[in-house]
Structure formats: structure tokens, C-alpha cells
Structure 1
Amino acid sequence: MRFLTHALLFLTTSTLLTSTLAERAECGSYASSDKIDAAEKAIKEHAPPRQGRAELKNYIFDVYFNVIASNMTLLGGWVPQKQIDDQMDLLNKAYVGTGISWNLVNVTHVISRYWHETVTLGEPQAIQMARAFRKGKSTAFNVYTVGFYTEALNGYSAFPVDYRSDPYEDGCVLLFETLPGGVSKARQGGTLIHEAGHWLGLYHTFQGGCLGLGDRVDDTPPSAEATYDCPTFVDSCPGGGPDPINNYMDYTNDTCRTEFTPGQIERIQSSMATWRSDPTI
């Protein structure tokens, strides 16, 4: 059952921001080598060994959508219900075959020009916002749409390894323009699919470049860097195979990103067994 909540909170800011940044990075999520090592250790200790795709465990995660707008206009970040429903449809279609499905249970609309314009990665405003509106526990996927006026981002997400030390920051912050029907031409719902991948334990396919262990998934060839637009072929690392430009965890246009690999699905399953299998935590 879905509950719709419209919390109209009128907050002010002394700084009036009048323009958005034209060029945006797809994602601000970053996993340090120490964080990755800690995650690998936890998975090995807690995730049971699996024998192939036939044993996929099904997880249904409740989704709490929080629209943080500066006013009740589309330009001001007000996201209509249809856009949210279309986004949820794309999200569920992208995760078919992974054992993951998403259930929208709550939509909250908040009018706060301050949060809409100033929330970004690592800033106290983001923590304040999450403390005010975050719902559920480790199995609840909280999504916040904002304007990212102060940083050129499309989105960022927490990793599951972060939850126990910082539960309030668990979730995803998203540029409202990237939802289906938004003004972004290259992004029409794929950004949330990408950020949900981080929330499920996946890294960028270009993690670590051509060297090292990369994204810790064997069937995603290494990439020297993120790929943009929608090229027909890229092979940036010698000997590893063509770059996975059609993978949801790269930065190509939404029309280009169409897949998760079997290895990524295995990693999602292991990560969920380690961190997001108990709805009471």
C-alpha cells in the first residue's frame, strides 16, 4: 500500500542561487580502497557460498521517495507522481533477473529552497535532511531528489558497508531532472538504476582503472576511465576485453546502459546477505 505525504516545509536561505551548472558528473559515489577491503572481508565472513543463478534469493525493498523542491513548479524541483511511477517501473525492469525488486510505499513532497539548492555530498545539510525524513532500517531504500545547485552531480548513494556506522546517510540523493520525463536528454531514469547499484554493493566498472582488482567482479572488463555518450566500441585497457559500455555501472547515456553481468548479480546477492537481509536492523 502506498501512502502519499505532502509535507510543505517553508525554509529560507540567505543565498539566492539563480542558475544550475550545465556540465554534470553522473555520480559522486566513491569507494576508497580501505572501504572496499572492509566490504570484501565482511562478505567473505558473512555471505553464504552460492552455487549458480538457480539459487538467487529474492529481496523486495521498500522505497521511500522524498521530493525536496524549492517550490511547487517543475522548474523548482516539484516531481509529479507520474514521473515517480515511471521511474519505479524502469527501476524494476532493470533489476529483473537479479533477485531484487522495489516496492514504492511512500512519497513525501517537501518545499525547502534551502535544502533543494544546497544539499550535496558530504555537507551537513544532507545529514539534516536525512535525519528529518529517512524512514525504515537497512532494507529501506530512501531516495531524495534535489537541485544540486552547488555541485555538478546527477546523484550519489551510500554503500551497504556504510550502514551500521552511519545509518542516517543510507540511501540515494538524486538530481530531480534525471527522472523519466525530466529535462535531461542523456538521463531519463538511468541515474537511479546506477545509484541503486551502489546501494546494493556494486562499484563503478572503471573502479581502479586498468590496474588492481577493479570493481571486484570478474566478468566486467577493466576500463581506464568512465565512458560518456554512447560509443559503439571502447577498449581502454590492454588485454582485458572491450570496456563494458552497456553496463548500468558505467556513465554512458541511458539508451546505452542496459545490463548487469552475472558476476554483478552474484555480488549483489552476497552484499544483501551480508548487510540487507534483516529488516529489523
Structure 2
Amino acid sequence: MALPDHPEPGPYASYPSLVDRTVFVTGGATGIGASFVAHFAQQGARVAFCDIDTSSGEALADALGEAHAKPLFLSCDITDIGALKGAIADARSAFGPIAVLVNNAANDRRHSIAEVTPESFDAGIAVNLRHQFFAAQAVADDMKARGGGSIINLGSISWMLKQGGMPVYLTAKAAIAGLTHALARDLGPFGIRVNTLVPGWVMTEKQRRLWLDEAGLKALQAGQCLDGEVMPEDLARMALFLAADDSRMVTAQDFIVDGGWA
């Protein structure tokens, strides 16, 4: 398979502190997550990632392994917290203590207020919010033992824009700002930094296929200050900075990558 969002050589930063650092990415088989996996591998990190999309995850690991240390793919449903903790334990066994956690996994399925049930509400929170807390809990002792680490929670500008048509998703994504602040305060004394990476409308294959119609394109052009499309690699490059020692005094912050929309 083609590598996702492969950066052009030359103008982008390299981070020596990421070499051999153990990174765990949730939802890393496709889209933005696959770009995180690829970019960390290209920096020389030891990358483990999980996803329910086994075929895409295995293909990505194989493709990246042709030029870099092969990432470890772990098939896992992140809404099953026991399975998620097991995947993190497997990554630790393979590569050593987790130094960087990228809480990427999410599902922005559209839904109306009327159709939400208690069960679907809980499912939306589970896939978009709950796992971020428990993944952070599972890596905290690793980071404490090594004297620090970086947790990167993925948010969204959707709730900032008051976007309609997916109220449970917006609720979960808004809550991630509070989660980041809480974790940053409690883990800060151990040198663990926690930040929120907030994407705008990122042009993944899924977004183009499902939602980028003429009206969406007009909204994108009207909303962004910058011309062009926000791409997965734009998020990945910010994540590299937040994971590296270059951002050693940065925590409890939101980093919005949206072309100036929010």
C-alpha cells in the first residue's frame, strides 16, 4: 500500500529526542491516525498502534516496515477498556515503557437529537471520550518511572463552531478540553505533559467520500482564513512537536490546526 501523507523531504523538522522513544497511537490504521503512525516511524520512534480495522493496520505496518523500524499493529476495539489496556501492555512488552500516547481514535457518525437513546449516547461517549482517560491511566506509571512523557488528546473544532447533526460527538469532544486540563494538573508534577490537538476539517479519504459535497466545500472556503486543505500530515507534524522535548514546558494547552476557522 502507499504510505499515508508521506512528507516531502527537506523543509520539515526532525526531532532527535523522538528516536527510539516508544509511542502508542489509538485508531492508527487509517486517516489522521495512519499519518501519526507514519510520521513517528519516520522520526525513528518505536511505534505501536491499535485499531479495529485489522487489514488496514497490518498493511500499514508492513508498508512502513520496508523503510523504517516496523510498527507494531495490535487489533483492538478501544471501547473495550480491558482490550485497550491489554494492547498497551503488549506494546510495552515489545518496545518498553510508553513515552508518548496519542489518543486519536474517534467516530464522527452523524445523528440527530431525536434518535439518541441512552445506549447510543453511552456508545458515543465510549468511542470518542472514555478510552482517552483509560489509555492515559494505563501509561501514567510508565511515564512517571521514566521521569516524564507526553499525552496528546485529539479534540475537534466542531463543538467550537456549534456544528449541528452530531450532538453526542460534540459533547464528547468538548469534554476532552476538560480531560486535558485535569490530567495536566495531576500528572504535571511527574513531568508528564498533556495537551489537546484540535483538528479542523481534515481532508481524509473518509471525509471526502462521505461529506465533502458542494455545500461543504463552500463552508470550508468561507470558514478558513488560509486557502487550501488541512491534511492529516498537518496534524502529524504538530503532534511530533508536542511529543518531542522541544515542547518540554508546554502543557494544558489547545493546539488548533484548522486553517484559521475556529
With the length of structure 2 as denominator, give the TM-score of the two structures.
0.28
The structure having more radius of gyration, on CA atoms, is 1
Bigger share in helix = 2
